[in-house]
Amino acid sequence: MHITDTFDSYVSKTDGCWVWTAYLDEYGYGRYRSRRAHREAYRRAKGNIPAGMFVCHSCDNPACVNPDHLWVGSNKDNQHDASLKKRQREQSKSHCKAGHEFTPENTYLRSGHPNARTCRTCNRLAAEKYRQRRSA
């Protein structure tokens, strides 16, 4: 598992993550010759990536290009992994847009969508407002 040419010059190797030191995109992933650096690192070390598959990080560090920290999975696998690591968008928010706290009692989780949270207080207030409009 040896990565050669200019690719190596952009990698800072440690005992853990190999951090990409060149350009990082807005999500923190390295870019190398118009490709994401971690995908290129995986391809060079372990071979081609099947079409439609994702190269995921076991270390949860988007700038890491250590092939030992990379694995191939489907979009579903990648989303599940991100959910377990609390990296899903909106997942870390503690309050809804109206300022109500997401507590177990005040949070509705959509069936089949564990990261799609809804504030029960906001739902109740919206339903009340709707009933008032209909009865007027």
The per-residue pLDDT for range 29-76, each reduced to its tens digit, is 999 988 999 999 999 999 999 999 999 999 989 999 999 999 999 988
> What's the pLDDT score for residue 113?
64
The residue ranking higher by pLDDT, 116 or 58, is 58
Tokens representing residue 43 in the block? 């391809």
Residues 84-104 pLDDT 10s: 776 666 666 788 889 998 888
79 vs 21: CA distance, rounded Å = 26
Fill in the DSSP letter of residue 68.
Answer: G
Position 91 scores a pLDDT of 61
**pLDDT, position 56:** 94
CA distances from 133 to 76, 121, 130 (A): 41, 19, 5
Give me the pLDDT at residue 57, please. Answer: 94
